[in-house]
A and B are shown apart, each in its own frame.
Chain A
């Protein structure tokens, strides 16, 4: 009986068919696991490679020394100070602009062709290679506006690059807020801006924060657009301090200062032939990697907390 039931019309043995399908299924599960393990192994190899090459070089001096022609005495002081200052400019420009644009598209925009153009444009900007932004900054900011190769220009170009990330994150965070919140606010007599300011923005803040941090973490590692604007790589001085001992105490001179940033310093050391400089590059890479991984980790943690809170 059993053998009869296993035979399908046309004399196909259904048990063999099922057995084969099951084997293919398991083989694919194996392939999926394999790809996952290989990808994770690559991440491990990358981190281990940097650790083995660069960790012995990491010392207090490495953080407090300027770059030098002698690899043993070179450090990343001007690079990490430059990165910090550039990131302040980037965050100050990209976050308010991106949040404002995201709020407009989600809460205010009418469904018409202007909105369509803006939406397609934001999606498209997110896909433009970063080096193209560098060319824009070179042609427009450096030569067009005559701003030169300064911290301000680097902050501006990285802000343009981060803008789509912040816009998309803001929109997603706002979209996840239930419609009832808006209706309740309107029912209490709030107008649109009051609703956005008092209810929508606070509720969307964790999501916006996640997006902003991911965007800035990407901007920290961006090298190409900063090279394109012609940033110098050998900077053995610091920009003027933002806080001055005399009135008016705050100074924005640093915005117009030449600079270098972490990824450029690392690229500079990689492209030298001497292996001693490669050790410096690995150490700088470790610091850079730690910065981006910490920021990404923070973003992932905040998102995890949001999801837990929603359940």
Chain B
């Protein structure tokens, strides 16, 4: 007898939950509304469950959104860490800081995604918290929204990060991780570029804390500063390269740049080999170039500098003395 009552209850809860979810959907129809009203009056039990639901909804309405989000959606502090508490003192509940990610066990709730761009491609992704990440040419990241952090694993290339102010996720540190170390956003807008050796962090807004993977030290890079570091060396922050974020607008800036360096930069955006002979390597290049058409940029070089292009194929270009 008891079991039968239980079974009905479960079915009732399923149905009530279904209706509650439906009634907030944008495509909830008038006929569904009618069916719901009929459902509520089917029995005293139906009516009672529905009253409960109304009570819950009423309580939710009493709570200011910012307060409710901060309190009810706070990261699980205790229950998740029960296993840790079993044998240890409570200090473990203290808020973790930069550098803990390596020691933290994998989260029980995490969702992640992978993004990649081909050479010459650029794309912007918006994360669950509203933060935007723009991937430059030939870049790869994976993102995970975890209970303890918003984590970007940056595998290669260059990314522009603009973190969002979102009450739900505000308490979670925003971290970009490269093979050289971790960077924690203290502000809103920065660029991370991985070189063959080392990582360059350029801060456009706010500040970012950088911690090399194999050092105990960390340093804060402030607005309009950049820092190149490796897993073993922190380096010193210098003034931000004025055009650091230009690529995000699809533009390559050159200001008295050596042709050799310019071609190396351009090479990031097109497939194949691109190089110049030593006698023209030191020529100076200045200008603003549209990255969407790298062939056109090479033609422009021919028009403005005493050089010509030797193209064995589209993928093998030498810039030589004219």
Are A and B genuine complex partners? no
